Homo-oligomer: A and B are copies of this chain.
């Protein structure tokens, strides 16, 4: 294997070339032929279509050079093979290994980590089966029917997005919906109070999720839930027997008697990359069963494999990443929107917002050098058609173009649909999506400038037959891999998050009343803290 070299984007030959290439105008570029040509299969039956993005043959050729120059595939292989790809924290980056073996085995302190992850999955699968079968029950003897995830950030957004994405799917498949889920994330007591309102504690199982076992919000909410359960004064109720933990083996939460059981991850699974680990797996297996969770892993693994492909025209995550860098650093677009035409994906953009912005919202290179170019964009989004009646006005006629990432499906999750005005609701949904892509790309001139659309607003489209566990897993991994590739292109460490530390330190100083800066004290005072 060639030695890996790390260089900043602006020191590559390809980047200098890219800036000099003629820009693409979609008014003339977007043709039927291009829609067929700028399309490639993804994992799990999905398709990536980039016909409406502002690239052409010349730009794509230089983007391929850029990928080669930045050695993105070799870096991905190194990452999957267990090299330290999170240098700031001196850690491996192994979320791909949760889904399958991509290359050589990864052994740490004599432990094969693929085996370790699978062991944990086996453990929580058996636990979930015992819960579903009724051999593990609440402390008063009632079966567990509701699962409540207590976690924040990566321990909340990804698992919640996946849970919501499959709620209708599970409800439409007899026997697939095993438990209802709720979530507590915020340290705001109104979050826990509202989530616990009306909850039957006797049939509720809480999952405490914190890799470090020290997350302030999560530990506070654990105490909060315990206090609420005690305050309910239910005869025979033992709150600790309603709590399980997902944490690392070395954390203070591990193997404590405070939990009915504990399931483990390790330091090589970053929070925002942990949805396919026990962090998401315990919840999803309890809620929907192990077969469904396995299908997510299968789709994700397939996407991980497709990301190993060297030809950018056959590697959707790499192509998506490269075009995103072109949009950010050549076209200078500061934002991007993810717009799923699928109500089930309602919180998927919130997950991607963390995934993308926390990974690549960095100003220094991997080696700590200040960067002279923009890195990760601001990412936001809501499902269509809802967004059409909200912020699309700005996307169509605002002063700044926003590259759009559409997602759509040919079938709904629920079979029930209705023909009105001669077509089903699903057909209306998909027709809206097709119309939007073209409206953004081609625009429309009008004698009244207020009714004119400039067009040439770029978008890509990921589509498939249906949002299933497999295609959801593939979608999740596609974005994880896209973000990873962009990190390699920008030469940043996509796997640390030092930017969250200062707030934690200052908060702790306020709460301890410890040598407070007068400015902090002034804010703490108006907020009623001190």
Contact = CB atoms under 8 A, between A and B. Distances in A.
Interface stretch (A234-242, A306-314, A389-397): A389-397
Given A450-B496, A511-B428, A343 B191 contact: yes
Contact of A358 (B228, B343, B390): B390
A193 B168 contact: yes
Given A154-B389, A228-B416, A496-B450, A186 B383 contact: yes
A429 interface: yes
Contact of A412 (B31, B188, B360): B188
A515 interface: no
Interface in A381-437: 382-386, 388-400, 402, 408, 410-414, 416-418, 420-437
Interface stretch (A64-72, A92-100, A217-225): A217-225
Given A388-B500, A434-B524, 19 more contacts: A157-B390, A167-B194, A185-B386, A193-B413, A194-B343, A217-B428, A228-B416, A231-B416, A353-B391, A361-B393, A361-B395, A378-B380, A395-B499, A396-B502, A427-B529, A430-B529, A432-B507, A438-B506, A463-B526
Interface string A488-530: 0000010011111111101101110000011111111011110
- How many copies of this chain does the complex contain? 2
A219 B499 CA distance: 47
Contacts of A439: 502-503, 506
Contacts of A391: 353-354, 357-358, 361, 379
Nearest to A512: B422
Interface in A426-462: 426-439, 441-444, 448-454, 461
Contacts of A520: 434-435, 438
A419 B376 CA distance: 39
A317 B507 CA distance: 30
B342 A414 contact: no
A212 interface: no
A144 interface: no
CB-based closest 10 A-B pairs: A361-B394, A153-B389, A410-B528, A435-B506, A361-B398, A397-B499, A396-B499, A357-B394, A354-B390, A434-B523
Size category, A interface: 35 or more
A498 B394 CA distance: 10
A78 interface: no
Interface string A259-284: 00000000000010000000000000
Contact of A429 (B186, B428, B501): B186
A331 interface: no
A461 B523 contact: yes
Contacts of A443: 502
Interface stretch (A126-134, A292-300, A367-375, A471-479): A367-375
A152 interface: yes
